[in-house]
Chain A
Amino acid sequence: MTTITNYVQAASIEMALQALADNKMSGRFLAGGTSLMPILNLLRYQPGVTHTLIDIKHIEGLRTIELQADELVIGAAVTLSELTKHQLVLEHAPVLVRVAKVIGSREIRNRATLGGNLCSGDPRADLLLPTMALLARLQFVHMDDPNVMGMSEFLAQGNRARQHAILTHIYIPIAREVRWGYSRLAEKSMGRCNIAAMALVAGESGSLKEIGLVVGGEALWPQYFTGLHIGSGAKGSILTLAEKVVSEIAAGKVGWSDYRTATAVTVVYEALEELMNNEANA
């Protein structure tokens, strides 16, 4: 009648992968536990469900943040609190800080990790949006095969990407000038997002030309739209663009209500409007 039958604190990536191989059916990586533990607590009294927790957050190399050439490299076990206070992230990826700050509570952010957020298997995971908008690459390490993939591939692979593999690092390309806008709707304070949108233009010094837009949320894995254009920033053209994007998302989605369309249009509109109003965000 117990769900966690064993706890292993991994000191290295190799040790974590070996523990996973040794516990094929029951092994689960544990980072901050803020996504995993509420589920395990609920399952605690269900007979027959067992887990071996393989704690990866003490692995030295997974807790670093550094600049490598023109990329910011963030270890998967960096907590959200560390992320929001780190000088390199504040300087080179402020959009990550903006989003990380709205996740959960202080207590949650003191434990929750960037890697755990991306690997939680939940489309509402807030950091999926900025990592996708920033064209981040993810480094997974498998027993005998390290693999770097873009966010689109990661999302397309779903659970397969993180089965038997550990996310070790997130590589974020650094652009000299990044402008962005972000909007998020949650139904309660500290609530997971219902719908969120992030609009971003990188490396443009003149007028805004080509916008990347990511929209995601409840039952909606992030979708990335590129090559979007807004005329002179008139409110009308932003609204038209927001409506066009949302109708594209809604097409073919079962159970997508008028309410969801209206809230999605508002959120996308707000993200685009903030982008238009912002000089390069710092």
Chain B
Amino acid sequence: MRQMLKVTVNGYPWEGLVKSDQSLLDFLRDELGLTGAKKGCDGGECGACVVLLDGRAVNSCLIPVLDVNNCEVRTIEGLQDEQTNQLQDAFVSVGAVQCGFCTPGMIVAARALLAEVHNPGEEEIREAMVGHLCRCTGYTRIAAAIKLAASRINPETAGPER
């Protein structure tokens, strides 16, 4: 069955019929061609599909697309700004990216964290990234990258860069 959906994705309004059994993740990837969010597990376990829904980080694989009617969705493609550039630079410079499958979800989650806490500590970063699996780098470098980016984005509240 198809039902009407009205949603804003990355700042652009979208309106049309969608399949009632489609997840937000499948809608973004298959209908809109936004393949930044990945399907790792389809069960909320890996974090590769994380997007911002009305500003909050969520697993898009667990959300029926019709559930985002009248909402605002932001994917990694819609987060291209200075903060994301700093995060991307930091991920590359500390070696927190290998295959890159987990990275979009990690960056989106990091953006949500930095919106709440300007310079999060190690513990806060680890707690915020608990829902994200990376099969390549190990998690130490990912935490270090987020810390580094935060200190560059918000130098006034950062401790000494290490």
- Residues in A lying within 8 Å of B, measured CB to CB: 2-7, 9, 30, 33-34, 37-38, 41-42, 44, 53, 55, 81, 104-108, 110-111, 189-190
Contact = CB atoms under 8 A, between A and B. Distances in A.
A190 B131 contact: yes
B58 A107 contact: yes
Contact of A190 (B3, B20, B45, B50): B45
A59 to B, nearest CB: 14
Interface stretch (B6-14, B64-72, B84-92, B140-148): B64-72
Given A3-B21, A5-B1, A105-B47, A30 B64 contact: yes
A5 B44 contact: no
B106 to A, nearest CB: 12
B42 A41 contact: yes
A107 B1 contact: no
Contact of B57 (A5, A41, A110, A190): A110
Contact of B56 (A4, A9, A55, A110): A110
Contact of A33 (B21, B47, B62, B128): B62
Interface in B41-97: 42-45, 47, 50, 56-59, 61-64, 66-67, 69
A88 B122 CA distance: 29
A265 to B, nearest CB: 28
Contacts of A104: 44, 131
B130 A190 contact: yes
Nearest to A32: B62
A107 B57 contact: yes
13 contacts: A7-B20, A9-B69, A33-B63, A38-B44, A41-B42, A53-B64, A105-B131, A106-B113, A106-B130, A106-B131, A107-B57, A108-B44, A111-B63
B131 A108 contact: yes
B130 A7 contact: no
A106 B44 contact: no
